[in-house]
Amino acid sequence: MTVAQRIPEQEWTAELFLTTDQHMFGDAWRYELVDGRIVAHAAPSPEHGAILAGLTGALTSRLRGNPNGCRPESGSGAVPRSAQRATARIPDALIRCGEHPKVMFEVISPSELRNWTERDAKRRDLQAVEGAQEIVELYQAEQACHIYRRQPEGTWSFEAQGGADAILQLPSVCLAIPLSEIYAFAELPEPGSDDSAAKALG
């Protein structure tokens, strides 16, 4: 759930937003800057948190001592190059190699699946981030993910993975992570239930 508001008498840039204490904006769990608007996000559900914990644990163990200087981050800003003065997205997690994020992750709740306009807009902003090579959307209600990869000509390919044996391949950073590891602590609804991501997608 998100709530958009414009902070009065202030022209917000990405640089200013990312260096401002978010408590100035209010008491929400997290904020983003979207086209000059401060957007508040509600706190994540326990299952969202469990999936994110599994993901960051898997990334931490694999990236420790990475020779290319790649590291995992959680709650860091990602600024689209084409909208740098007015937009700063905060993905759930990312892999940064040097100055720029290379892989960004979002845990997608069933309610976010229904709001496809907002979800697609955020994905486009993340794809516009300088250095971005892969965007991974992990589904909260199903052991499944969608992966978007930048191709050499600049377009983006799409791949869907799911199931207990699926492995998330991240060739841009030479990582392979079983989905079962990411979802190890998540309590997923039974397939076909009202909360399942498959039903929300259908």
pLDDT tens, residue order, the chain (202 aa): 454 454 545 788 888 888 888 888 888 888 988 888 888 888 888 999 999 999 999 999 999 998 888 999 998 888 876 655 788 899 999 999 998 999 999 999 888 888 788 889 999 999 999 999 999 999 999 999 999 999 999 999 999 999 989 999 999 999 999 999 999 999 987 666 555 444 333 3
- Same structural domain, 24 and 95: no
Looking at residue 129, its amino acid is V
Q: What's the domain range around 15?
A: 2-40
Report the C-alpha gap between 15 and 22 in whole angstroms.
Answer: 13
Place of tokens 């930048």: 150
Q: Are residues 63 and 145 in the same domain?
A: yes
Nearest to 102 by CA among 132, 77, 147, 78: 132
The verdict on 79 and 116 lying in the same domain is yes
Type of residue numbered 162: G
Are 23 and 123 in a shared domain? no
Whole-number pLDDT of residue 152: 94
Question: Is 123 found in the same domain as 63?
Answer: yes
How many structural domains is the chain composed of? 2
